[in-house]
Amino acid sequence: MAAYAHPEVLVDTSWVKGNIGNETVRIVEVDYDPIPNYNLGHIPGSVLIDWKKDINDPVRRDIVSKEGLEALFGRLGISNDHRIVLYGDFNNWFAAFAFWVFKYYGVDNVVLLNGGRKKWIEQDLPVTKDVPTFPPTTFTAKESDETLRVFLAYVKEAYKQAGKVLVDVRGPKEFSGEILAPPEYPTEHAQRGGHIPGAKNIPWAQAVNEDGTFKAPEELKALYEPKGVTPDKEVIAYCRIGERSSHTWFVLKYLLGYPNVRNYDGSWTEWGNLVRTPIEK
């Protein structure tokens, strides 16, 4: 069986268990529904990042600023010398979003726990309700890496061009326009349903196994390549607000090694609400 293109971005549950208490490691939980899950029990020593409050701008429709990320890491006791291990619920849905945000600001030493919270709980590994505190630190992020992200003006041209392919990672009913919002966010919908013309629908969760771990490389290739999502093209992933598409971005870029993968985090919330943007159903 072939290995992932970048296996160093994943750690398994046994590695994390063996590194609980390691002062060079910071374990971070990032959940869809952060407070209830974390309070029910989390990996000992793990801190919580609230994806909505901590890694999104509180005023603009944007992700956290470079300075905001540095302040967050400083508050959580994360320095440039730490290895950051991200995990969460929904098969690492928002943990992958955090991974993308961190990479956007050049955070080098960050990995995902393969299987996330689900795998940890299913294996009956230790959890605690104790909230750790660490001494404040100083973290220095890099300037944003714009090769990882695209904005509306770019997508308006990209969907028409050969050599570029858009991947809509939402569910089939969102893609077709039958529903205007995912089941998890029934009231947060766009004005119109459908998808960006020419986009391929490959739901993000198809990339993981029942236990939350990522599928093997051969299975992932069989998922994307028959739909024309191949490494010779520039791939643009999108969903509703850019979180589910971060998961697919991670799979394509780090597990399959695609050289040019970008996340359109404006996604359907932006495209589906604009006047005169073309859609397909």
Q: Which residues are catalytic?
A: 239
- Cα–Cα–Cα angle for 115, 105, 28, nearest 5°? 35
CA-based nearest residue to 91, from 63, 67, 115, 110: 115
Which residues contact residue 24 at a Cβ distance below 8 angstroms, ignoring those fewer than 6 apart? 81, 82, 83
- Total residue count of the chain as it appears in this document: 281
Instruction: Quote the tokens at residue 177.
Output: 């326009």
CA distances from 13 to 87, 122, 214 (A): 10, 11, 13
Separation CA 31–CA 187 (nearest Å): 19
> Which single residue is written with the structure tokens 């309700």?
129
